[in-house]
Copies of this chain bind each other. A is one copy, B any other.
Amino acid sequence: MIPSPNPPSKGELTRQAILAAAYPLFLEQGYHATSMRQVASRAGIAVSAIYNHFAAKQDIFSALIFDRHPYQHVLPILQRAPGSTLEEFAHNAARAMLTELENRPDFLKLIFIEIIEFQGAHMPSLFQTVYPQVLNLVSRFDTWDDRTRGLPAPIIIRTFIGFIFSYFISQYMTGPITGPARKDADDMHTVVDIFLHGILKPGEQQ
């Protein structure tokens, strides 16, 4: 007998089936274009059965955005990225994030839906849940304080994450979303290089 310390109740299994059914539907169609009947059908239950687990349609989205929002994946990836020097860390962290983004091209869609269809209503409480991890990352950047040009760590982190995100978002903004992300690791390397050294030639600083 395999010990199962937390045997999920049948109700919890159904709840998870509803979330698993709704998640890809929301990402592919958006929130308002997804019907409760679609979710129920994909979950293998009746529409009314959903309401035994969620009081309203929007509560399904609320549960999803707290369970699966991208920040809780991005921040641990950045923290786990190896590298004793700032350069190594930056390139490793960028590569790890790019790999994650390639494996999950819908990474940011949950946030986009939140912004467009919920007017960012969940954002404040969402930010609160990740704030401790942001502080952890700040302290890691403080390790290399002597290497940087005295720029505040929060601005560095914000710029770095913005770099990687914008590199990824640009695929959304220049072409069709369909198909897996075609990424050029060399381009990513160049972008990180700009982050570290800027676009100007050494010695050209005026």
Interface residue stretch chosen among A7-15, A42-50, A91-99, A188-196: A188-196
Let me know if B148 and A191 touch, CB within 8 A.
Answer: no
Across-interface contacts of A172 in B (CB, < 8 A): 111, 115, 120, 123
Q: Are A199 and B151 in contact (CB under 8 A)?
A: yes
A202–B201 touching, CB < 8 Å: no
Contact among B111, B123, B169, B191 for A175, CB-based, below 8 A: B123
Q: Which residues in window 173-206 of A have CB below 8 A to B?
A: 173-178, 187, 190-191, 193-202, 204-206
For residue A109, give the distance in angstroms from its CB to the closest CB of chain B: 6
Does A36 belong to the interface (CB within 8 Å)?
A: no
* Chain A 136-170 interface residues, beta-carbon cutoff 8 Å to B: 147-149, 151-152, 155-156, 158-159, 161-163, 165-167, 169-170
A132: B residues at CB distance < 8 A? none
Does A28 sit within 8 A of B, measured CB to CB?
Answer: yes
A84 in the interface (beta carbon within 8 A): no
Q: Is A6 an interface position by the 8 A CB rule? A: no
Cα distance A159–B120 in the bound complex, in angstroms: 26
A112 within 8 A of B: yes
Q: Which residue of B lies closest to A202 (CB)?
A: B205
Question: Is the Cβ of B116 less than 8 Å from the Cβ of A117?
Answer: yes
Residues in B whose Cβ lies below 8 Å from that of A115 = 109, 112, 172, 177
13 A-B pairs within 8 Å (CB atoms) are namely A28-B119, A30-B31, A111-B172, A123-B175, A127-B174, A155-B191, A156-B194, A158-B167, A159-B194, A162-B166, A162-B170, A166-B166, A196-B199
Q: Which residues does A use to contact B, with CB under 8 Å?
A: 28-33, 86-87, 109, 111-113, 115-117, 119-121, 123-124, 127, 147-149, 151-152, 155-156, 158-159, 161-163, 165-167, 169-170, 172-178, 187, 190-191, 193-202, 204-206
For the complex with contacts A151-B193, A159-B163, 4 further pairs of A-B residues with Cβ separation under 8 Å are: A119-B177, A123-B177, A159-B199, A169-B169
